[in-house]
Amino acid sequence: MSTYKCRASTELISRDAFPSNCCAVFNRGGGLGPSKVCVVPAAGNSSIDDTPAVLKAFDQCGHGGKILFQNTTYHINSVMNTTGLENCEIDLRGTLLWSTNVSYWLNHSLPVGYQNQSTAWVFGGKNIRFDGHGYGTLNGNGQTWYDACGSVSNYPGRPHAMTVAETSNSEFTGLRFVQSQMWTLSIIHSQNTVFDHIYVNSTSTHSSSRNTDGADTIYSSHITFRNWEVDNGDDSISLKANSTDILIEDCLFHRGLGIALGSIGQYKDVYETIQRVQARNITFSGTLHAVYFKTWTGEQVNYPPNGGGGGLGYASDMIFQDLKATALRGPAIAISQCTTFSGAAGNCTSSKFQLRDLTFRDLTGTTTSHDVASLQCSGVKPCENISITGVDLAVSSNGTLADEYLCGNVEGTRGFKCTGDVCVGGSATGGC
């Protein structure tokens, strides 16, 4: 049995016998594992903020050490910034429970660095392993937020559960996110990082759980999402500005909107891309789409997060394969280049952001729609080189095959023929 010396005592004790109220730093000798282990104490009372103890542990063990959360509940009542970490491990065996003080969070949430979004926790560094063992949980107490914000999009100050920023060569595994306040994970300015065996459930008992994306990538590359299960009220996983070399595989998505590319093209005259995306072996259960694209119109109306437009760039070189669907609520594949300021009518064919070189193959299962695809593309920058093959989607109401491909401003189709004109409307998720 390994023994450690608590800083508050000269007595050597076993790790299992370590008191939770002791100063939580072990110095480990022998060259095995991290040199320091910080056990985070929990006050065990919702009125006592455990955030200072968490921040202290990261400060003491965030470089070459290990931060250990015990199998108990930690009350997180204030914002956290744990960036600049290096060569460390985070071992989450309990639950981090965020407070329901809406006024505090609206006034203190930390900037993400994109779309005027904000977050409850900024986390980042290099060579990190964050392990939840399949049960370590981040609970955002989201029902409070769903009731407070309702269907208002991007409510100012409403925080993301966690932002992974400027992170590289790291792995997050076995984590559970429940009732996230808004987006669950925003991943920004990060590279070569894997998110594996992640569970997300941000569903509401009676209010809209809009804006509860499972994950969003921004200015990031070589990001892998593997073995995710997401049940939410918005994008399952969304790839936004300058997301490149992204892999999504072996995932199950429930009830939300499906895999989203965008929104993008929101910043006037700013050039952005989404490139080299692969998604494979994905199951969709009751989602609106399997995959959908959303760009802002070519005219700027108001400002982010709920306004914008006029952006430049392209999304290209994407392969979506082995997609299995049950009871899709809309077209399996959708493109809408019609996003604009809430409540404003926009020119849906004016976007200067182009979609091209998109491949969809082996799409099977059931749907409530007769439309396999609804492709509403820009007249200024038409969609190019879209391939859809291996489709076997049955319409659940009558068992017939879904066989409609609605197109607007699409050039170069492979594997399918356009069967009708797309309905042009203001919906950011396609259709009218």
- CATH number for the domain spanning 43: value is 2.160.20.10
The torsion angles phi and psi of 145, rounded to 5 degrees, stand at: -75, -40
Strands of 329-382 (E only): list them: 333-339, 352-367, 371-376
Choose one of 221, 247, 267: the last residue of a domain: 221
Alpha helix positions (H), 112-251: 142-149
The torsion angles phi and psi of 363, rounded to 5 degrees, stand at: -115, 115
Q: Is residue 60 part of a domain?
A: yes
Scan for tokens 């991290």, then name that residue.
34
Q: Is residue 228 part of a domain?
A: no
Please report the pLDDT score of residue 152 as a whole number: 87
* pTM, entire model: 0.93
Please report the pLDDT score of residue 32 as a whole number: 54
Residues 301 and 210 in one domain: no
Query: CB of 293 within 8 A of CB of 265?
Result: no
Number of domains making up the chain: 2
Residues 132 and 266 in one domain: no
Query: In the predicted model, is pLDDT for residue 34 greater than 90?
Result: no
Residues 168 and 261 in one domain: no
Among 28, 50, 51, which Cα is nearest to 38's? 28
Residues 366 and 426 in one domain: yes
Q: Is residue 249 part of a domain?
A: no
Residues 167 and 217 in one domain: yes
Query: In the predicted model, is pLDDT for residue 24 greater than 60?
Result: no
- CA distance readout (Å), 303 to 5, 126, 238, 266: 55, 33, 21, 9
Under DSSP, the state recorded for 181 is S
- Determine how many CB atoms are found less than 10 A away from the CB of residue 432: 11
Query: In the predicted model, is pLDDT for residue 398 greater than 80?
Result: yes
Residues 87 and 145 in one domain: yes
Q: Is residue 82 part of a domain?
A: yes
Q: Is residue 369 part of a domain?
A: yes
Residues 191 and 293 in one domain: no
pLDDT tens-digit series, residues 349-371: 999 999 999 999 999 999 999 99
pLDDT tens-digit series, residues 309-331: 999 999 999 999 999 999 999 99
Residues 404 and 294 in one domain: yes
Q: How far apart are CA 297 and CA 30, in angstroms?
A: 61
Query: In the predicted model, is pLDDT for residue 72 greater than 90?
Result: yes
- The catalytic residues are 234
Q: How far apart are CA 228 and CA 193, in angstroms?
A: 15
Q: Is residue 360 part of a domain?
A: yes
Residues 211 and 299 in one domain: no
Q: Is residue 84 part of a domain?
A: yes
Residues 190 and 290 in one domain: no
Is it true that the peptide bond before 305 is cis, omega within 30 degrees of 0?
Answer: yes
pLDDT average, residue stretch 375-386: 97
Residues 304 and 171 in one domain: no
Residues 215 and 294 in one domain: no
Give the torsion through C-alpha atoms of 128, 134, 135, 138, to 10 deg.
50
Query: In the predicted model, is pLDDT for residue 136 greater than 50?
Result: yes
Q: What residue numbers bound the domain in which 427 lies?
A: 257-432
Q: Is residue 391 part of a domain?
A: yes
pLDDT average, residue stretch 168-189: 98
